[in-house]
Amino acid sequence: MPAYRVLYMERAAAGHPNGQALLERHGSRPVVWIDSYSEVFYRAGQDFQEQKRAPALVAAITDGPLLYEAPTRVCGVNDMPVFYNDQLRNCVYNCDYCFLQGMHPSGHTLVFVNSEAFHEAAARRAKDGRFWLSISYLTDILAFEPVLPIVSEWVAFARRTPEVTVEIRTKGEAPDFVRGDPVANVVLIWSLSPPAVAGRYERGCASFENRVLAARTAAERGWRVRIAVDPVILHPGWATNYAEMLSALSARVEPESVEAATYGVFRVGADFMGRMSAARADSPILHHPFDRADRVSTYSAREIDAIHQAVGGPLREWLGPQKLTFVHG
């Protein structure tokens, strides 16, 4: 469980049950009362990585926006509209390549405690027809579950709202709720990286072995499970490392238990990339000679072709082409 050194609590949020739960769990550590989360999260002159080393938690209430439409190409869903939300801003983990360090001015974690507002927004959209909702598009929200059980609230929402397929993507381990009956419209996606990447560049995340065990456990209990090898990160020996990872994955997980898989390359907006690379001189993967066409920093066409062969090929052999999608959005 993350140990937040300070809890910044909006006065309005303190009256919400989730706000009360955070105050109780925070114990004797300092609480700073604020009128608006922007006083803390969006103030000028913050150092993202310095704050990640000793993060604070900011608890707030929001009235929106509560739902955003996403292009389907970013997640490999083609049979329904795709939406996402941002009930949690920033992430418990601190991956070297994470775009959030280029997106947010603060390294602290911001949580909007009024879950019911997000649920109501999704329920209103569901009246127009079924859709796919990623609650982890901008964070690994499952990693925050020991602090506040937001994901469990969404699983309960999904049980009563079959028109909404809730996507939960993680680099963590199996959540407690997988021990219960699976929910037909909840999809659990594990993002996988070779041990060489997970151990060095994905700070705080579960190991490759534990992620695979979690995915297999969830699948064995009847949950819908998908795999994401995304982003593929080029590093010394990358092709061998990914080949060994995919071989281990196919040996441990039955292809019939995996609903689908995606793979993608590192890509980030050029404006984010500038801030990320400036702040992370310590991370060689952010100082690769990227192609910067169309205001996106990514690998060259030649490198992407090599990734298609080294990663896409084995995944296609394991799962079959009908279950595999390349995402680059």
Residue 127: helix, strand or coil by DSSP?
Answer: coil
Q: List CB contacts of 222: < 8 A, sequence separation 6 or more.
A: 181, 182
Closest CA to 235 of 196, 276, 274, 203: 196
CA dihedral 72, 176, 138, 321 (to 10 degrees): -30
Phi-psi region of 32 (alpha: psi -120 to 50; beta: other; left: phi over 0): beta
Phi and psi at residue 63, to the nearest 5°: -115, 15
pLDDT in tens, the chain (329 residues): 467 999 999 999 999 999 999 999 999 999 999 999 999 999 999 999 999 999 999 999 999 899 999 976 666 677 899 999 999 999 999 999 999 999 999 999 999 999 999 999 999 999 999 999 999 999 999 999 999 999 999 999 999 999 999 999 999 999 999 999 999 999 999 999 999 999 999 999 999 999 999 999 999 999 999 999 999 999 999 999 999 999 999 999 999 999 999 999 999 999 999 999 998 999 999 999 999 988 899 999 999 999 999 999 999 999 999 999 999 85
Whose structure tokens read 């593929």? Answer: 232
Q: What is the C-alpha to C-alpha distance for residues 289 and 166, in angstroms, rounded to an integer? A: 37
Residue 306: helix, strand or coil by DSSP?
Answer: helix
Q: Classify domain 63-104+114-327 at the CATH class level.
A: alpha beta
Phi and psi at residue 272, to the nearest 5°: -65, -40
Beta bridge partners of 226: 189, 260
Sign of CA dihedral 143, 144, 146, 151: negative
Domain ranges of the chain: 63-104+114-327
Helix (H) or strand (E) holding 10: strand 7-10
pTM exceeding 0.75: yes
Q: What is the C-alpha to C-alpha distance for residues 105 and 45, in angstroms, rounded to an integer? A: 8
The string of DSSP codes covering 85-98 is: --SEES-SSEETT-
Q: What is the C-alpha to C-alpha distance for residues 160 and 164, in angstroms, rounded to an integer? A: 9
